[in-house]
Amino acid sequence: MSTTQTLAPLATGEARKMATREAYGAALLELGAQRKDVVVLDADLSGSTKTKAFSQAHPDRFFNLGVAEANMIGTAAGLATTGLTVFASSFAMFAAGKPWEQIRQSVCVPELNVKICATHAGLTVGEDGKSHQMLEDVALMRVLPHMRVIVPADGVEAAQAVHAVAAADGPFYVRLSRASTPILFSEDYRFEIGKGAVLREGTDLCLVACGVTVAAALEAADLLAQQGTNARVINLATIDPIDTELLVQSARQCGAVLTVEEHQIRGGLGDAVAHVLVHHHPVPMDMLGMDDEFGQSGGADELLAHYGLDASSIARRAQELLRR
């Protein structure tokens, strides 16, 4: 099993915050200086996706395709055939939803070296409302053969994930947030494609989360501890390829699994974990996320609480699972 990772001081209430899209922009800038084969494409949202810094530093390797996401993916595929490492960015609603056919046909079928890094995913897009709150992108991407899917939990992990996907060949989808969230990991944290990370040990049940819900899962584990329940917390940043070994070991040792995601529970993290456990070690399981509904306009934290994705709601659902 993975060793328990060292966390930043989240519980002090003084944790530094950063949006994972900010970390993406900084990591791209580093990559651009290190590697001449890295090119970046954007769909007229470079200020928001944080690719603007790369465009200013390396204008000869940045292409704004305008509000034409299908063309952006087709162009990315074409550039990748020449041996370049291509990053393509827009909001998740536009990066995963609008050009899905081009992603399938032009990127995944030929297994080209295109990294789709989508910002503004999930409920925490906030006030932009249901039209922009992409809650189905993980499902759309993980169903595609050859596509790897990564949902970083904080800025430290997001930066490392960007460097990792640049070093690996083939298609990737990296899901990034708009809202600033706590920095969870210390500088010695190491992200590895296909590996989950145990953030807190426990034996009564296992909380499995990804992205912005990891911080809430850690807080929920603290609440559960006050109630006498010892919860393990796993950050499953890589949803595909999934860490089967860690999930099966945790199911055996904890006896119950609760998944938490800022996404539809159909086709997302919960389905991915259930697929592993039903084949290898079935245990009582529940899934927290969006259950067959769209979001609405509101503040990021307000929305997470409203839809039961805050710490107290996770802890309550965990206790219900244990009673089963």
Residues forming the active site: 69
DSSP assigned state of 107: I
Here the tokens at position 38 are 């890295």
What single DSSP character describes residue 123?
A: G
Q: Does residue 299 sit in helix, strand or coil?
A: coil
- Reduced to 3 states (helix: H, G, I; strand: E, B; else coil), residue 237 is coil
Q: What gap in Å lies between CA 101 and CA 116, rounded to an integer?
A: 14
Other CB atoms within a 10 A radius of the CB of residue 128 amount to 14
Please give the sequence-ordered ranges of beta strands (E in DSSP) within the chain, or none if there are none.
17-18, 38-42, 62-64, 85-91, 114-119, 148-150, 172-175, 181-182, 197-200, 205-209, 231-235, 238-240, 257-264, 285-290
Closest alpha carbon to 248 in 278, 216, 203: 278
Task: Write the DSSP assignment of 1-57 as a string of letters.
Answer: -PPBPPBPSGGGT---EE-HHHHHHHHHHHHHHH-TTEEEEESS-HHHHT-HHHHHH
User: What is the spatial distance between Cα 263 and Cα 151, in angstroms, rounded to a whole number?
Assistant: 11
Is residue 221 within 8 A of residue 207, CB to CB? The reply is yes
Give the strand pairing for 231-235 and 257-264: unpaired
Sign of the dihedral through C-alpha 234, 238, 239, 243:
negative
